[in-house]
Structure 1
């Protein structure tokens, strides 16, 4: 059996980020510009980007728009997810999936030493990997049928 995939193996390394004091409007504009549904909120410390939170398009809708609040004076620290779920680079794919299920999250920042941002894993990305693996299994069924027909015409 092959080596088990880790969060570090499957994470997207190019991550859209913002800061706690970024305005909600600027964050929404950045999401639109980058065609993403979330931003990892970071803080620059000692030459690295340390993860401090996560803001999603849903957070903005549920915490600002649906509440009828004016987004202009708000910044990300006012509305970002308080409960942050992260994965370490060495966490296995099954561990990562368990965390996503347990905490009900679709996006998980991947961190290295001292909570330094290394990448992000999304539910969409995990599903693509699993679909690929399932496709490989289906291919083995087709191959076994071909071998059967050759051995027993």
Structure 2
């Protein structure tokens, strides 16, 4: 691990993916089977999986269920957001958090040099990393207090 954590270092490399022409029903079933709340939508190109978008369980509820649409004829491309938010593998954790805040997203696909899918970072992943970092700081405080007690005896 480098001094400054990067998106590539904290991302999950096992990503559940689907294609733009995947039916909405099949996508929802895949989410259920894989116990995930989002699918990264990809296209195969030159042996790479290029990121095209993200579809979340909330997208399905808000765009289809809540509006009373029939999900049967719909494909992922029908409800995918036009606004694609990704992070480069080399982006710092701070840059990643800024992107999440700026775009109001909880999940960010991580891409390599040719925009190929490398992994995904969720807000939960970021919170776990930050909690570990904060715990190290607390450990430093505790150690400092113990050292001070020893010196004053």
TM-score with structure 1 setting the length: 0.97
Instruction: Tell me, in whole angstroms, the C-alpha distance in 1 between the residues paired with 2:150 and 2:43.
Output: 62
> Matched residue of 1:73: which SS?
coil
In the alignment, what sits opposite 1:67? 67
1:138 Cα shift? Answer: 0.6
User: Which whole-Å deviations, capped at 9, do the CAs of 1:14-69 have from their partners, x for residues lacking one?
Assistant: 00000000001100110111111000000001111000111000000000000000
Gaps of 5+ in 2: none
Gaps of 5+ in 1: none
Instruction: Tell me, in whole angstroms, the C-alpha distance in 1 between the residues paired with 2:60 and 2:37.
Output: 10
In the alignment, what sits opposite 1:124? 124
User: Which whole-Å deviations, capped at 9, do the CAs of 1:105-127 have from their partners, x for residues lacking one?
Assistant: 00000001221000001000000
Task: Give the ranges of 4+ consecutive aligned residues of structure 1 lying more than 3 Å apart after TM superposition.
Answer: none
Instruction: Tell me, in whole angstroms, the C-alpha distance in 2 between the residues paired with 1:81 and 1:31.
Output: 18
In the alignment, what sits opposite 1:110? 110
Residue 12 of structure 2 corresponds to residue 6 of structure 1: no
Task: Provide the alpha-carbon RMSD of the alignment.
Answer: 0.8
Residue 99 of structure 2 corresponds to residue 84 of structure 1: no
User: Which whole-Å deviations, capped at 9, do the CAs of 1:82-127 have from their partners, x for residues lacking one?
Assistant: 2110000000000000000000000000001221000001000000
In the alignment, what sits opposite 2:147? 147
Instruction: Tell me, in whole angstroms, the C-alpha distance in 1 between the residues paired with 2:115 and 2:51.
Output: 6
How many residues are paired up?
152
In the alignment, what sits opposite 1:24? 24
> Matched residue of 1:5: which SS?
coil
TM-score with structure 2 setting the length: 0.97
